Amino acid sequence: MDSAIRPLIAGNWKMNGVTQNLSQLEALTSGLVARAATCDVLICPPATLVRVAATTCADGPVLIGGQDCHFEKGGAHTGDISADMLVDAGAKFVIVGHSERRADHHESSALVRTKAQAAQEAGLVPIICVGETQDEKLAGRALEIVTGQLTGSVPDIVEGGDIVIAYEPVWAIGTGMVPTSDDIANMHGAIRDWLAGRFGADGATIRILYGGSLKPSNADQILPLANVNGGLIGGASLKAEDLLGIIDAL
């Protein structure tokens, strides 16, 4: 953890959550207020809940984001959602290039970059996800894959902290497996070097999140590591109690 950078704890609800789950946002808000938490907290619910979640969390400590956006502002794209629509619904952030979208929807890094740019133009902070698969890791290619994804996915123009990077080893997502602390610190250090090389002083202020089976029981080992500026959390973000347990590890 770098104390100069305000940490971000981001929950990704994925394709989970209906109206009754909004009670978790209320519980999360109460827990954060009671703790006077010193990090930013974001929940990215499914698109159907973004507006009502933003209304539920209005004026409170919980920020709301989307899980994906289209790269165009509008038009004939059945089923898609633009960055402007997310802003209109109350979102402040949007996840782009999650490995599940790269795999399920064949999203390339070039496409992810256009989505990140669309988010920036709309005034959203894109959380750009990168990470190697298990085969790539076993082949010793993790660093090459991650830097390749950064090169392809990160926009050319970045001002201050208007993007976030999430390092999520694909093999750690939803599996209960996590990399060693050394592996996480080394990869986050490499991502920091890449950002500093590309954006100079601005690169030193960009938050780098770790994601992949982050939970209350391992957060105190992962979140204090150098260049880990918070987490992107799937399963353990669905219950306020679990997410608060991770926040307590900060």
User: Cβ contacts of residue 157 below 8 Å, gap of 6+?
Assistant: 120
Residue choice 233, 243, 246, 247 for contact with ligand PGA (CB under 6 A): 233
Cβ distance to ligand PGA smaller for residue 11 or 90: 11
Active site residue 98: yes
Cα separation, 16 vs 116, in Å, equals: 23
Q: Is 100 an active-site residue?
A: no
Catalytic residue among 70, 98, 107, 136: 98
Q: How far is the CB of 223 from ligand PGA (least distance, A)?
A: 13
3-state DSSP helix/strand/coil % of the chain, to nearest 5: 45, 15, 35
One residue of 31, 90, 131, 212 binding ligand PGA per CB under 6 A: 212
Contacting range for ligand PGA; rule: CB under 6 A; set: 52-60, 103-111, 209-217, 242-250: 209-217
Should residue 163 be labelled a site residue for ligand PGA when binding is judged by CB under 6 A? no
Q: Tell the residue number behind the tokens 């402007």, with chain if given.
A: 84
Of residues 34-53, those binding ligand PGA (CB under 6 A): none
Residue written as tokens 């973004």?
A: 50
Buried-exposed string 194-220: b where 16+ CB fall within 10 A, e elsewhere: bbeeebeebbebbbbbbbbbbbbebbe
Task: Figure out which of the listed residues 24, 120, 149, 213 binds ligand PGA, where binding follows CB under 6 A.
Answer: 213
234 contributes a contact to ligand PGA by CB under 6 A: yes
Task: Tell me if 168 contacts ligand PGA by CB under 6 A.
Answer: yes
Contact (Cβ atoms closer than 8 angstroms) between residue 99 and residue 131: yes
d(CA 51, CA 69): 15
CB of 235: closest distance to ligand PGA in angstroms? 4
Our finding on whether 17 is near ligand PGA (CB under 6 A) is no
Rounded Cα distance between 222 and 218, Å, is 6
Catalytic site positions: 98, 168
